[in-house]
Structure 1
């Protein structure tokens, strides 16, 4: 029912630009569109601005609302995943040459109906038939996790984390299954790049990447996956941890190499990261338990503001070396280690060799107990 209503409404929007066409509807040959036209309507908002942020280039386009109507026109060299922004709200969509209709409620951009081009239509179907039921369950667990984080309820947080991990693996398998039957799909390569960005097994990611047709491996999303695989191989268990230097809380330059001779946890976190803050008590516990046995920690913060960073260090009792260049996700070490999400960590032995990664909950303590008997 909803799809039929949308199809009718979308058709009325397209009439603005296409109903004047003199081409015969019975023409056997359809020319590929060489430009895009986005026609949209925001209900409940007559004036204002709406924006498209191009995630791949950093470019932003804007359009004015005229009695709620807006339009964007241009040319896309390739299919892009963009972000539609209205006030503080945002929603992702695929931009490609062709005609796209958008129907938006003023305070509900996330529920906007976006349709008209092949990739976006396939993405809509994927979300409805495959992704949404699972992501809804993950969202519920995530909300409960955030609530536990605010209460500093570590036990509940650890339990919810295990539930989320199972759902995450189910989601990854869902993407693998879809890719097997849609090897040349932009949606497949996009979902792999998105869903496998964190807490993945290198072998699984490499395997699903190899399923893809060469035509989509060469896209922006395919190159992103290839880059993730290459960076992960560099920081895989058994490899030496890449050296780097950064400034500590006192402005002194600290290098990872200076920790040689100790077991070291390289811990990526941030003051604004709820899961990181909930994980910190586990790290503090391991630090106090094993520090005298030759264990140390080098914290790398993705903060951008010094006061919040320092306050979190003090509040969470992170009494070990902390560094940050206050560049957030743009920090060189973030790219160097291929960090896509936090918390993330790497445990190094005395020679700087990575012996474990992504340790959460009691995993860190258990691993250290094995190494520092």
Structure 2
């Protein structure tokens, strides 16, 4: 008598054979990065990114011919945190059969995708309307056709106030190049909010419902810390997020030019 493993067992063995060396390599490079001097980190980061790209490639190669395999469901789940963005996870999940999507694990992945898509790069910016400092309603869609930096901040937030001069600099540099800023404040007191706007020289449009962390727009975008921002392109797509200091200017230079 000869007893052999099931088809799923063979597929899991293939998963281990394919992915274990990649995971081990990633972990080893991360350890090296953490212990390396600053001058050696760029080379190690390149190696890390190359290994990560290999991982992404192997995921799709594995699941595409095995769309009804529970091992494919496991592969999507085990690698989704390492994906470059949630849209990649969504595409891979879409390849799976309904028998897998309707499992408990499948529903957990679907829930993760739904949550992670909010504010993710490559997704549509969620529409909102909130009152400005003159109690006039302002909608994000009213800026369609421009690059818009949706900037979450507050007068009481010291890191936000420290970053404001950089945002002012960038706004002044690019405001005539189809760019603007839409500030969303998590303030509670209108006086403190408007005084900070004036003191910091924030001459763009600002909105708030003065509900602190319960600000409706912050809740909509799952904002849990500030400063936080999202760069929206003229078509309403989020093309970048969490841009600070020189990174903000560099990203705008990519889209709008610096000459």
Give, in whole Å, the separation in 2 of the partners of 1:358 and 1:242: 16
Partner of 2:155: 271
Give, in whole Å, the separation in 2 of the partners of 1:349 and 1:205: 18
Give, in whole Å, the separation in 2 of the partners of 1:237 and 1:275: 23
Pairwise CA RMSD: 2.6
Aligned residues between the structures:
159
* SS state at 2:234 partner: coil
Stretches (4+) displaced over 2 A: 201-207, 226-232
Partner of 1:340: 224
Q: CA 1:205 to 1:255, structure 2 compared with 1: closer, same or farther past 3 Å?
A: closer
2:220 equivalent to 1:330: no
Partner of 1:233: 117
2:163 equivalent to 1:284: no
Structure showing the higher strand proportion among its residues? 1
TM (norm. structure 2) is 0.57
Note the C-alpha offset of 1:241. 0.2
Partner of 2:137: 253
TM (norm. structure 1) is 0.40
Structure 2 unmatched runs, 5+:
1-80, 90-103
Note the C-alpha offset of 1:203. 4.1
Q: CA 1:250 to 1:236, structure 2 compared with 1: closer, same or farther past 3 Å?
A: same
Partner of 1:160: none
Give, in whole Å, the separation in 2 of the partners of 1:283 and 1:307: 22
Whether the aligned pair in 2 keeps the contact of 1:270 and 1:276 (CA below 8 Å) is: yes
Note the C-alpha offset of 1:228. 7.5
Q: What does 1:50-61 correspond to in 2, within 5 Å? A: none
Instruction: Flag the structure with more relative contact order, 1 or 2, with Cα contacts below 8 A and sequence separation at least 6.
Output: 2
Partner of 2:45: none
Whether the aligned pair in 2 keeps the contact of 1:232 and 1:337 (CA below 8 Å) is: no
Structure 1 unmatched runs, 5+:
1-200, 208-216, 218-222
Structure showing the higher helix proportion among its residues? 2
Partner of 1:113: none
CA deviation digits over 1:142-166, x for unaligned, max 9? xxxxxxxxxxxxxxxxxxxxxxxxx
